[in-house]
Amino acid sequence: MARLRTRRYLIEVKDPKGATIFLNAAYWDEKEKRVAIAQLARLADTPEVNFHAEPALEPKSGRQASSSQRAKPKTARPAPR
Protein backbone atom coordinates (compact mmCIF):
# COMPACT_ATOMS: atom_id res chain seq x y z
CA MET A 1 0.00 0.00 0.00
CA ALA A 2 1.41 3.38 -0.99
CA ARG A 3 1.82 5.91 1.77
CA LEU A 4 0.10 9.24 1.31
CA ARG A 5 2.28 12.32 1.55
CA THR A 6 1.49 14.22 4.72
CA ARG A 7 2.45 17.79 5.46
CA ARG A 8 2.72 19.70 8.68
CA TYR A 9 0.23 22.54 9.20
CA LEU A 10 0.21 25.04 12.04
CA ILE A 11 -3.15 26.17 13.38
CA GLU A 12 -3.23 29.43 15.29
CA VAL A 13 -6.39 30.98 16.73
CA LYS A 14 -6.24 34.58 17.89
CA ASP A 15 -8.68 36.74 19.81
CA PRO A 16 -9.90 40.07 18.34
CA LYS A 17 -6.96 41.90 19.95
CA GLY A 18 -4.44 39.63 18.19
CA ALA A 19 -3.33 37.57 21.19
CA THR A 20 -2.83 33.86 20.48
CA ILE A 21 -5.34 31.74 22.38
CA PHE A 22 -4.65 28.39 20.66
CA LEU A 23 -1.65 27.04 18.73
CA ASN A 24 -1.31 23.50 17.44
CA ALA A 25 0.39 21.48 14.69
CA ALA A 26 -1.30 18.83 12.54
CA TYR A 27 0.00 16.34 10.00
CA TRP A 28 -2.53 15.95 7.16
CA ASP A 29 -2.62 14.54 3.66
CA GLU A 30 -4.48 16.45 0.91
CA LYS A 31 -7.90 14.95 1.67
CA GLU A 32 -7.62 15.53 5.42
CA LYS A 33 -6.52 19.13 4.78
CA ARG A 34 -9.61 19.86 2.68
CA VAL A 35 -11.89 18.36 5.34
CA ALA A 36 -10.20 20.39 8.09
CA ILE A 37 -10.44 23.64 6.12
CA ALA A 38 -14.16 23.03 5.54
CA GLN A 39 -14.69 22.39 9.26
CA LEU A 40 -12.74 25.51 10.23
CA ALA A 41 -14.75 27.57 7.74
CA ARG A 42 -17.99 26.30 9.30
CA LEU A 43 -16.71 27.16 12.78
CA ALA A 44 -15.84 30.67 11.60
CA ASP A 45 -19.29 30.96 9.97
CA THR A 46 -17.84 31.72 6.52
CA PRO A 47 -19.34 30.50 3.24
CA GLU A 48 -18.01 27.19 1.96
CA VAL A 49 -15.46 27.45 -0.84
CA ASN A 50 -13.77 24.80 -2.96
CA PHE A 51 -10.03 25.08 -2.24
CA HIS A 52 -9.10 22.24 -4.60
CA ALA A 53 -7.32 23.61 -7.67
CA GLU A 54 -8.39 22.02 -10.94
CA PRO A 55 -5.96 21.64 -13.86
CA ALA A 56 -6.33 24.17 -16.66
CA LEU A 57 -8.35 23.06 -19.68
CA GLU A 58 -6.48 22.44 -22.90
CA PRO A 59 -7.48 24.47 -25.98
CA LYS A 60 -9.86 22.66 -28.37
CA SER A 61 -7.81 23.45 -31.49
CA GLY A 62 -4.47 21.89 -32.27
CA ARG A 63 -2.71 25.23 -31.89
CA GLN A 64 -1.42 26.33 -28.51
CA ALA A 65 -3.02 29.55 -27.31
CA SER A 66 -0.71 32.04 -25.68
CA SER A 67 -0.98 32.39 -21.92
CA SER A 68 -2.27 35.96 -22.28
CA GLN A 69 -5.30 34.73 -24.28
CA ARG A 70 -6.33 32.08 -21.75
CA ALA A 71 -9.02 32.86 -19.24
CA LYS A 72 -7.68 33.90 -15.86
CA PRO A 73 -8.64 31.62 -12.97
CA LYS A 74 -11.39 32.99 -10.75
CA THR A 75 -10.96 33.16 -7.01
CA ALA A 76 -13.76 32.71 -4.53
CA ARG A 77 -14.35 35.57 -2.15
CA PRO A 78 -16.64 35.46 0.86
CA ALA A 79 -19.91 37.35 0.51
CA PRO A 80 -20.07 40.67 2.36
CA ARG A 81 -21.98 40.62 5.62
> Computed over its alpha carbons, how large is the radius of gyration of the chain?
18
How far apart CA 18 and CA 23 sit, in angstroms, is 13
Task: Flag whether the pTM goes above 0.95.
Answer: no
Per residue in 14-53, pLDDT (tens digit) is: 888 999 999 999 999 989 998 988 888 888 776 666 655 6
Distance of CA 16 to the CA centre of its chain: 23
Per residue in 52-77, pLDDT (tens digit) is: 566 666 666 655 545 555 565 666 66
